[in-house]
Amino acid sequence: MTPTPSPTSTPSPTPSPTPTPSPSPSPTATPTPAPSPSPTPTPTPSPTPTPSPSPSPSPSPTPSPSPSPTPLTSVVISQVYGGGGNSGATFKNDFIELFNRGNAGVDLTGWSVQYASAGGTSWSATNLSGIIQPGKYYLVQEAAGTGGTASLPTPDATGNINMSATSGKVALVDTTAALTGGCPLGPTVIDFVGFGSGTNCSETAAAPAPSNTTAVLRAGDGCLNTGNNSTDFSTGAPNPRNAGSPAHICGGALSQTEAAYLQTETGVGSVQTEAGAGLFVSEWPLPFLFVSFSPEVFSAPRPQEDLRRWRRDVSASGPRGRRGGPPRPRGAWP
């Protein structure tokens, strides 16, 4: 037998090995860099402006008030006597007398009367108190001598000033502080009398010299006050009056001395007086022009130089265009 050949086996093709695909490399992801955070800038604080300090306003300095001038007063020195207790004297004591020539009471508390010798600069004071009524007197008793036979009426104030019988200076002052200097005519001096020869201070001119038996007395029982000691005062027998003495009211008919003074000072042509009605000053016969002054116009001492001056209670009337006298210089008195 022929042997049947064994079929040649068709070799199974060796399969091409499926290539193992190279894995596509996963790309390494580039890491997204974490953004560095922009640092939040620390805000530079806007500097709080230092407020310019509001300048404390310099306070407008309160101006020192100009001292008000001492109001003109109606109280005057009406009599001075320094011969008390001297040889031939009637009264045992020296004295100073005051008078209220106005129409209202004046409180003298805190005031004083003061004395210095004719040429002296040292002043002695006697303090006052109480009210001096209109038309009334106020008696200040001073030192006693070894002579004399009569006591003074009851004094309203008492001091121990030993005054000269013939010359000196007496001041009425609205304080109790002693004056200084030979002629201290300042705003605290309400009235002033220089008397006798050699006196270095007075109102205009000194009053005449008194003696052991005479005083210097203001005319009109104290009413006349023209600012001139030489004409306002005369010598006479001492006549001390106190608060209990009868009142003497000024303002009746004007004395011829006052009328002549006013005519000279104002420059008008005539002065007419009428009892109880003050006074009238006229350049022409009434009723063309008249100026009416209250008696209070004469209640104040003449102001000293460079003190303020003013008038009170003055009125005038007349036809249009009529003038009562020549113009007065600024600051003229009264």
Domain regions of the chain by residue span? 75-236, 256-317
Reported as a single tens digit per residue, the pLDDT across 320-334 is 444 444 554 555 455
Q: Which amino acid is at 311?
A: R
pLDDT at 186 (0 to 100): 94
Q: If you ran DSSP here, which 8-state letter would residue 264 be given?
A: H
Longest dimension (CA), the chain: 222
- The CATH-assigned architecture of domain 75-236 is Sandwich (2.60)
> Is this prediction's pTM over 0.75?
no
pLDDT at 7 (0 to 100): 52
d(CA 287, CA 88): 55
Task: Tell me which residue of 257, 198, 199, 190 sits closest to 223, measured CA to CA.
Answer: 257
pLDDT at 102 (0 to 100): 96
Three-state DSSP class for 231?
Answer: helix
Name residues of the chain where pLDDT drops below 70. Answer: 1-73, 252-334
